[in-house]
Structure 1
């Protein structure tokens, strides 16, 4: 952490020096969700199936979470730019907000990086060379808050060259290390490959080298992605991904525990389409197989969140999600169905992506057996549960 902060301070000094030629511009970025609720009359407990990597988030987030950052840009006389940013996050348990007692919050540095944009002519005219810690080309599914590809480095250091024009696509290469340098991950990808009208592709390859003192082995990950714009007036994204060894999981920090006998295969499709002038629907379906030397855990998930705009200030959303896990190690299957209805005040900004939103919600869950979910203790020996609450969410 000290090394990152020192580097950030030096970088800011560089920006200040460059300001003698041009004024440095700043822009803020941030996100906040905060709310309270209760499950079956007790503390707010999220409904998540054991073996599922995430859950359907509407009316199902028992934390408060914020991100706050500053981006910096310094345009130089030669047309290039010095760019960079710093971002922190703050998180904690929302149950601390509804009972007397101490609020336990976690503050962590998420981004501290500097780059030089426009490093040359031709293919390099729009490219950036960068170093530090940053969110790097993350891919997420909004309604389950799932980053299904995330080569960001939250605990270590990274560097790369991005957006080199190849004619048929944009090449980016980067290297990441976790805090203790147990895994070095080398990532390359070609984005924005035009495949047809409003259809674009991306291919990626990563190789992870693990320290010899760790139990894992070197490994690789391959990914293919498609994006269709103007899909019935919205968008659709699909991906097929495979990883093994220390590249297991598609993370920038790597997996120092994973040998070549450990693999993860993931397929997903998601998108947002307008069904009418006032009705929009987000949808997702995914399937992944975690194979540990022949013993597999398969997770399947499917869900929708339609949102109906009543007027400029009010909307209603319904979210229904289903998760299913086939766990060979435990010789069992389990499932969870979760449904939420939420009344939304939109502060005069209607639309699925518009924020801020203030929501009042009721969530109902049903699972296959006692112990199938991670927070079973909050529901005694029941296999159903209800959560009610209120939440505020915004980004900027």
Structure 2
């Protein structure tokens, strides 16, 4: 009910916004996933190490994003747009006590104000130029939040973007005052390399702004990102390299994404890197294959002399029996050493699914699945219970 009231309120506000020039219709877009299942070790179907072993048949929650976008002004190649989004989450094992509704986007974007008509000026709360690997449900570069910036500036062969985004994190659990953090995000995209290949590079500088009487012992952090995009007639491939220091170094091995920085002075000498390769290819008319390979390492995290590392591989082949029915497999495995504790595990999922049309990214997709998780090794049993076992269930995923 809260979600419906919030959505209605935002929609009414957008529809009632009148300007001198004719505005565009209200656009509705979004994403959802959800389902039901049973597991012999977790009651409901399991959700375990999704970023490391893959998400297919390994999610036990209901999640949805509901976006409302409205053009407020459009005249003489100048446009102003308001972009808003609600996000809903509900755990499978709980009812009213385990639900949340949040406003995750609310911003204004203006285009056409300058001689370079591609330039967009924006401010507000925004999912900002996010990059992810979908099959492991992980955003490796995501500095989204409240901020503002200028993007898509034509400069040389590519486009330059600049943004300032707030990153204040609740530090009460670390027995210290909150730090007002700001991310300076600079990226240059669309650099041509060779045929059907381009490069995007970026720098994120996360700094803490001291208040009167406050001393921040943790150093500011820098994260460098390079993304090489390659398209083929049969698919695409993407290679990512990230280098980081201080608090960003810790995020390399903990699947962090660029915001939510924990300012720990013990990380001041930390360094880290992350290398990802993922993509999708067609192997004939009826077979498609998605994959994700990830390696990350960090040193001097939390002031220790130990080295942290993580390595994971996920592959998702599918066989298309007809235009609308397919069988999908997903196999994932990982091994890691974090804080001198070793962990490793694997997952195997088989799913029969139905879609409206052929293609790896075709959605909506309704699936019946069986998943086997193998929690091979875990030195920290107080943190994670043994998840070895079988799950069966039904799930749907869609975007629009």
Deviations along 1:216-255, one digit per CA (max 9) or x if unpaired, are: 211211111100011x510000011011235453423433
User: Map of 1:321-360 to 2, 5 A cutoff?
Assistant: 321-327=332-338, 329-330=339-340, 332-346=341-355, 348-360=356-368
Q: Distance in 1 between matches of 2:368 and 2:202?
A: 41
1:159 to 130, 148, 155: 148
Residues 360-375 of structure 1 mapped to structure 2, 5 A cutoff: 360-369=368-377
Residues 191-236 of structure 1: CA deviation (Å, up to 9, x unaligned):
0001111010011111111133444211211111100011x51000
Change (3 A) 1:103 1:349: farther
Asked if 2 retains the 8 angstrom alpha-carbon contact of 1:47 and 1:55, the reply is no
Match of 2:23 in 1: 23
CA apart distance, 1:46: 3.3
Which string of whole-angstrom CA distances, capped at 9 and with x for unpartnered residues, describes residues 67-121 of structure 1? 001012245322111022110100021233xxxx546211111100001112211
Structure 1: distance between partners of 2:372 and 2:379: 17
Residue 387 of structure 1 pairs with residue 368 of structure 2: no
8 Å Cα contact 2:52/2:312 also seen in 1 = no
Matched, 1:107 2:101: yes
Unaligned residue ranges in structure 1 (runs of 5+):
none
The correspondence for 1:280, drawn from 269, 278, 288, is 288
Paired position in structure 2 for 1:79: 77
Q: Distance in 1 between matches of 2:51 and 2:271?
A: 15
Which of 231, 238, 257 is equivalent to 2:264?
Answer: 257
Q: Distance in 1 between matches of 2:15 and 2:375?
A: 56
Alignment partners' CA distance in 2, 1:252 and 1:160: 16
Task: Give me the whole-angstrom Cα distance separating, in 2, the residues matched to 1:182 and 1:197.
Answer: 44
Asked if the contact 1:48/1:373 (under 8 Å) is kept, the reply is no
What is the 5 A alignment of 1:120-139?
Answer: 120-121=114-115, 124-139=116-131
Tell me if the contact between 2:53 and 2:346 (Cα under 8 Å) persists in the aligned partners: no
Tell me how far 1:172 sits from its aligned partner: 0.2
Aligned residue among 316, 328, 333 for 1:305 = 316
In the TM superposition, what is the alpha-carbon distance from 1:179 to its structure 2 partner? 4.7
> How much has 1:14 moved relative to structure 2?
12
Match in the other structure for 2:298: 290
Q: Is the CA contact (8 Å cut-off) linking 1:324 and 1:334 kept in structure 2?
A: yes
Whole-angstrom CA distance in 2 between matches of 1:280 and 1:36: 27
Q: Match for residue 147 of structure 1?
A: 139
In the alignment, the residues of structure 1 paired with residue 191 and residue 239 of structure 2 have an alpha-carbon distance, to the nearest angstrom, of: 14
**In structure 2, do the counterparts of structure 1 residues 80 and 374 end up closer, same or farther at CA, with 3 Å as the change threshold?**
farther
| CA contact 1:310–1:316 (8 Å) conserved in 2 | yes
Check whether the contact 2:335–2:345 (CA below 8 A) recurs between aligned residues: yes
Deviations along 1:362-393, one digit per CA (max 9) or x if unpaired, are 001223236668985475xxxx3111111111
* Residue 318 (structure 1) aligned with residue 323 (structure 2): no
Deviation at 1:308, TM superposition (A): 1.4
Mark the runs of 5 or more structure 2 residues left unpaired by the alignment.
1-5, 170-178, 252-256
- Give secondary structure in 2 for the equivalent of 1:23: coil
Instruction: Report the counterpart of residue 207 of structure 1 in structure 2.
Output: 205
Any idea what SS the aligned residue of 1:76 has? Answer: strand
In 2 relative to 1, CA 372–357 (structure 1 residues): closer, same or farther, beyond 3 Å?
farther
Q: Kindly provide the CA deviation profile for residues 258-314 of structure 1, in whole angstroms up to 9, marking residues without a partner as x.
A: 643233311100000001111111011011113314322211011110111111221
Output aligned runs, 1:236-247, within 5 Å.
Answer: 236-247=237-248
Q: More displaced, 337-346 or 180-189?
A: 180-189
SS in 2 for 1:304: strand
- Give the secondary structure class of the aligned counterpart of 1:196: coil
CA distance in 2, matches of 1:275, 1:43: 38
| Residues 36/196 of structure 1: CA separation in 2 closer, same or farther (3 Å cut) | same
1:168 match: 157
Deviation at 1:16, TM superposition (A): 2.5
Task: Specify the alignment match of 1:190 in structure 2.
Answer: 188
